[in-house]
Amino acid sequence: MDEDAGSMKRIAECGAGAIVTKSIGLKPRDGYANPTLVELECGLLNAMGLPNPGIESFKEEIKKLKQSKIKIIGSIFGSNASEFTELAKKMESYGADAVELNMSCPHAKGYGLEIGSDPKLVNGITSKVKRAINIPVFVKISPNLMNIVEIAKAAERGKADAIVAINTVKAMKIDLDLKMPVLANKIGGYSGRAIKPIGVRCVYEISENVKIPIIGVGGITNGEDALEYMIAGASAVQIGSGLYYREIDIFKKVCKEIQNWMKKNNYNNLSELVGVAHK
C-alpha cells in the first residue's frame, strides 16, 4: 500500500494522523519477482525490491492525496547524497509535509541498509538533504546493526528532525518440500508481532543517547503495543504490518485502545508517558 493516492486516501479516512508513502526512488522499478511476501508464525517476511513508479510519476499521486487534509511523509531512497537530495526537493515541491530517508531497507543492493550502516554516509546524506529543503527530515534506521546508537547520533548530528526506528529484521523462510528459500530474493525483512521487542529495545537505547524525537515502528498491532513504544521513548508511532492483522481501520482501533488505557490509568496527556521507562 501507499504507492498510489487511492490506497493512501483510504488510510487517511481510517484514523491515521499522517501517511508514510512507499519508498520512492528516481526511476520506476518493478521490484523482485514473486514470491515477495510470505506470512510466518509471528509476522510477515517480505522482499519487494523497492517497486515504485519513480519520483516523476509520484507527483500525480501526491497531488490527488493533497485533496485530503492528511499529513504526508514522503519516504525516499537513493544511493548517495545527491540522489536523496534531488528526491527530497521533489517531494517538498509536490507538497509533502516531511520526508523520511530510507537508510534501512535490508536487501536492496546499493540502497537502504548498505548506506545506513555507515555513520559517515548517514551524517553526510542527512545534512545535505537538510540544507536543501525546509520541511522536516526523518531518518529511518535499521535494527540489523551493532551500532544503532552511533547511526542515530550521526543522523542527529546531520540535523535530522527525528529518528524512525525500526525497519524490518533480516530473515529467511525455507520451504521443506522444495528445500529452498520461499522468497525469490531468498532473504527478506521480517515485520509484525515478532519484532516488537526488538523495536522497543532499539527505541529505548536510542532515546538514552539522542535529544531529537523518535518515531517508533515495528510490530504494533494494538494500543498497548503503541504505549510500550512511547514509554520506551517514542513520541509517535507508525503501523505497517498491523493492517494485515486488524484491517485498514487499525488506526482508529489503536487510538481508542490508547484512550481506554489512559482513562483506566489516570493519564490525560500522552506526553506524560513518553520515555517514562528511563526515569
105 catalytic residue (yes or no): yes
Which residue of 43, 49, 192, 223 would you call a contact of ligand DHB, by CB under 6 A? 49
Alpha-carbon span 94 to 74, nearest angstrom: 10
**165: contact with ligand DHB by CB under 6 A:** no
DSSP for residue 142: -
**127: contact with ligand DHB by CB under 6 A:** no
> What nine digits make up the cell of 104?
534501512
| Residue with Cβ nearer ligand DHB (133 or 171) | 171
| Residue with Cβ nearer ligand DHB (62 or 274) | 62
**233: contact with ligand DHB by CB under 6 A:** no
**167: contact with ligand DHB by CB under 6 A:** yes
Alpha helix positions (H), the chain: 5-12, 55-65, 81-94, 113-116, 119-132, 148-157, 196-207, 223-232, 242-246, 250-264
Handedness of CA 26, 154, 138, 194 (dihedral sign): positive
**47: contact with ligand DHB by CB under 6 A:** yes
With beta carbons less than 8 A apart as the criterion, state whether 116 and 144 touch.
Answer: no
With beta carbons less than 8 A apart as the criterion, state whether 29 and 22 touch.
Answer: no
Residue keyed to cell 546531520: 158
With beta carbons less than 8 A apart as the criterion, state whether 87 and 118 touch.
Answer: no
How many residues in the shown chain lie near ligand DHB by CB under 6 A? 12
- The nearest distance, CB 257 to ligand DHB, in angstroms, is 26
> By three-state DSSP, how is residue 185 classified?
coil
Among positions 169-198, residues that touch ligand DHB (CB under 6 A) are 189
Among positions 4-23, residues that touch ligand DHB (CB under 6 A) are 23
**236: contact with ligand DHB by CB under 6 A:** no
Q: Specify the DSSP element, H or E, that contains 170.
A: strand 169-171
Residue keyed to cell 500500500: 1
- The nearest distance, CB 214 to ligand DHB, in angstroms, is 17
- Pick from 197, 203, 207: which is nearest to 216 by CA? 203
| Residue with Cβ nearer ligand DHB (102 or 222) | 102
Q: Interface with ligand DHB by CB under 6 A: which range of 104-112, 118-126, 205-213, 215-223? A: 104-112
Which residue of 88, 99, 105, 125 would you call a contact of ligand DHB, by CB under 6 A? 105
> By three-state DSSP, how is residue 26 classified?
coil
> Out of 14, 105, 202, 255, which one is annotated catalytic?
105
Which residue of 8, 19, 50, 237 would you call a contact of ligand DHB, by CB under 6 A? 50
- The nearest distance, CB 31 to ligand DHB, in angstroms, is 6
Catalytic positions are 105
What residue ranges bind ligand DHB (CB under 6 A)?
23, 47-50, 102, 104-106, 167-168, 189
